[in-house]
Amino acid sequence: MGRGFECGNGWFPLIDSLCHNIQEHIDQHNKYRKDEPPMDQMVFLQVKEKFGGLRIYVKGGDEYCHGLISMTESISYRFCEICGNAGCLNVGHTSGWIQSVCQECAKKSKRKIKFDTEITKMLKKAIRSDEKRIFEFYANR
């Protein structure tokens, strides 16, 4: 990754857990599925914040790995990007920038962060749609 991680430290536990689960899946696949070709390592091309959520771009992997990534991206909206405070869906924004932050981090920020209920409603709707799509994908397997 040429530019490194372009997101706050609060999401690192999510990214760490994602990496652990992907590596575990690849290792298990390569150890027990001798009848299939070995799965190559997944390469992370970019990890960043976009529109208040985590975005991860990769090369390689299978449907399971990509499902884990989608789930992690959806879950990121429920964690403060700065401190990792869980269970919050407070989306703050500055002039043109949207960020998932808790009220405490918004108070400490050098940038003035406004909380827009319209953006929060829009993101809640998008998150529900993502969660439904992920659930249907795994339910129909």
Question: Is residue 10 domain-resident?
Answer: yes
Is 139 within the bounds of a domain? no
Q: What is the pLDDT of residue 122?
A: 75
Domain carrying residue 127: 5-132
Among candidate residues 77, 39, 75, the one with its CA nearest the CA of residue 58? 39
Tell me the C-alpha distance between 69 and 126, whole Å.
Answer: 16
Which segment of 20-24, 47-51, 82-86, 130-134 scores lowest on mean pLDDT? 130-134
Task: Kindly report the pTM of this predicted structure.
Answer: 0.78
User: Given this model, what pLDDT does residue 89 score?
Assistant: 66
Measure the N-to-C terminal CA separation of the chain; round to a whole number of Å: 33
**Position 78 in a domain:** yes
What does the pLDDT look like over 89-99, one tens digit per residue?
677 766 667 78
Q: Does a structural domain hold residue 68?
A: yes
Alpha-carbon gap, residue 105 to 122, rounded angstroms: 22
CA distances to 19, 71, 116, 128 from 135, rounded to whole Å, are: 21, 10, 28, 10
116 in any annotated domain: yes
**What token pair was written down for 10?**
């609060």
Number of domains in the chain: 1
Looking at the domain assignment, is residue 117 inside a domain? yes
The answer to the question of residue 110 being in a domain is yes
Q: What is the pLDDT of residue 42?
A: 94
In a domain, 66, yes or no: yes
- Please report the pLDDT score of residue 135 as a whole number: 75
Of the pLDDT bands very low, low, confident and very high (cuts 50, 70, 90), residue 30 is: very high
